[in-house]
Chain A
Amino acid sequence: MLNPEVIKFPAPKSQLTYTHHTWDDPKRNVTWQRVIKDHSFNRKVVVLLPDTPIVPNSLSDSFTDDAQHYLVKNLPLAEFCSPNFLQAFRQKGHFHALCCDTRIDVDNTAAMTPDGYLHILVDKFTYQELQLHGTLSSHILRKPQDRYVIKINTNEKTFRPGKSYYERVTSALGHPRLKFNFWVTWKPKNGDICPSSVAKYFHDLGFVVEEQFPDIYKSIASEVAMPRLDKNQTDDGEDLEPEDLLEWIGCQSLGIRLETDPSSMCELVRPKAYDLVSNVNAVHCTGFFTTEYIVSLVGTLRSWLLERSPISVPWLSVTVYGHPDSPVSWGHQEHSYRSNGDNFYTLVLQRDGVHVFKVFGSTQPLRMYPKANNNKHIEKPVNRWSINEKKENHGPRYP
């Protein structure tokens, strides 16, 4: 390799967006609800609750109510296309399915979002064998062409038995390599139907179904300096940057203690404008959650916040993580795994407004071979004497 780069090694880019608005803002109120609704696959929820040595029953019930999900093993994808399934589950509620033990950058993987789209990510050989229409993945390796995305819309009118498109799709999805272990959860629109009927349906078809409940882990920090978010009490005139707020929330979720002064070991210190709060409880719930669960959880937390006093509980935060190996992150946006599979959002709930942070990974495609340097950062020497240079005009010659 000529001219390898030896000085600059930039880190992969990642996207972090931030917005802040009040609860009653009618135009922009759509933003935080849209962030929650579009994020179909939620794997983990971390809630920071100040001044809560023991989580009250109303809150701990809201974590575990209606939160069971099912693990279905060795399910072929053609099962998601059968008309019985679509009529009973896809049209009568919100159905989420995600592959649980595949990696998006090396294995074949699939997922089904509540709007009825089946997203399949396959490698080149499987794609050529399936012969379904798909596109080259925009985020994962593009040269050599290896990863293809196939999107199948089960809502279309031509997607019924007897039509040629349907027959082609179902015979292709019967491919032996397209059998995965799925996490499945279903929330019916009608309150009378039990959500576990989806587990019964797959069990009756002969698949192994396991019921799983969310895993809850709590950790408490005793005396914590919470950053002050209200802007009317700035004595120093220093506002907290949004990135620093996110870093502080990260420190509390991981259990990192922040000192008052920087030491030789660590320069990250307490925020300058802070309120001392006792007993910050970090609740970690791991499971497979629907968007409706998150919406009701946020509603419960908001009403809990209004019941407590502003001095002991200035604000609280909710972080919702997506699965690092899910094929889609928000809506139909493709998700990539470069050095991490970030796709999460954080809501900082205050009494009068909400801060929304959205983090997702890089959208640049990977490179198999590094880009050649071509001496770009070295200045080329200026050539003062060139053969074809025009002679300088010294003005009129002296006659």
Chain B
Amino acid sequence: MKQLESKYWYLKVHMDYERKNLPFQLTAELVKVVIVGAIDIMFGELSSCLPLDVLKFNEKTGIVILRVPKDNYAKVRAALTVCPSMRVGAVDVPVIYTTQQASSCLLSLAGPERSIV
């Protein structure tokens, strides 16, 4: 059996916000801008330039699947936990990011969730 090292970590994040506060609807590109802004506030510009991919964004449920390199995982998760609001079109919309699942393997995000959260 060969031991492999995964280069990326994957996060499944739930975004909780009031839809009526937004001037326009969120798209996946806008979600990336908003999350990079959250990392920028906490860790500065150098960390916000690190690669971050938005793999899937479901507008109705508010679930985002992100892919980050292994070394940035702790920073991204910490920045999302403390971020109070997102800046969209010159309006600050309060938002709560909840990381539901995080793993080094994308396949485990499709797996069973914990019985009690």
Contacts and interface: CB of A to CB of B under 8 A. Distances in A.
A103 B105 CA distance: 21
Interface residues of A, number: 49
Contacts of A9: 71, 74-75, 78
B25 interface: no
B28 interface: yes
Given A100-B115, A243-B7, A16 B105 contact: yes
Contacts of B29: 264-265
A329 to B, nearest CB: 13
A286 B109 contact: no
Contacts, number: 130
Contact of B3 (A15, A247, A250, A344): A15
B32 interface: yes
Contact of B6 (A243, A249, A266): A243
A102 B115 CA distance: 7
Contact of B67 (A14, A17, A100, A268): A268
Given A250-B109, A254-B110, A344-B107, A267 B1 contact: no
B39 interface: no
A321 B104 CA distance: 15
Contacts of A100: 115
Contact of A16 (B73, B104, B110): B104
Interface of A: 8-11, 14-19, 31, 43-44, 46, 100-103, 242-243, 246-247, 249-251, 253-256, 264-268, 284, 286, 319, 321, 323-325, 339-342, 344, 346, 358-359
13 contacts: A11-B71, A16-B105, A46-B110, A253-B110, A254-B56, A264-B29, A265-B32, A286-B112, A319-B110, A321-B108, A324-B114, A341-B114, A359-B105
